[in-house]
Amino acid sequence: MKFLRTLLVAVWVVSFSAAAWAHTTIIASNIKDGAELAAAPAAFVFAFGAEVGLAGLELETLGGDPIVLDFNRRSNMGKDYSVPLPPLAAGAYILKWRAVAKDGHVMRGEVDFTITG
């Protein structure tokens, strides 16, 4: 009985861990969270650790004013993305992203940055 209970716990741990590993976040980008940039890059270029569907990308000022992006949701999955940015004046900004894993799990994150020049 003790062996069966140990086996069930082990299966549960492995299952839980596998589900957790299936979800990802941005692992590389040209705009790092908390960055202070002299000028805005022409695009937000970023990569996830696993293939996801990019469900949304929003840019807003620190005050919550939305900034229109040339972003069209793609139906295919990918790891690498590049979204053009409009010219940005000096100030603080927040990029908010939403991605969908293959299992349908929605992940969210933010990248805060400041344009100084």
pLDDT tens string 23-37: 789 999 999 999 999
The domain spanning residue 110 has which CATH number? 2.60.40.1220
- State how far Cα 53 lies from the chain centre: 10
What is the extent of the structural domain holding 67? 24-115
pLDDT number for residue 22: 52
| Tally of domains in the chain | 1
Residue 15 domain-assigned (yes or no): no
Confidence of residue 13 (pLDDT cuts 50, 70, 90): very low
Residue 46 domain-assigned (yes or no): yes
Residue 96 domain-assigned (yes or no): yes
DSSP string computed for 1-20: -HHHHHHHHHHHHHHHHHHH
Residue 11 domain-assigned (yes or no): no
pLDDT, mean over the chain: 85
Residue 12 domain-assigned (yes or no): no
Residue 86 domain-assigned (yes or no): yes
Confidence of residue 95 (pLDDT cuts 50, 70, 90): very high
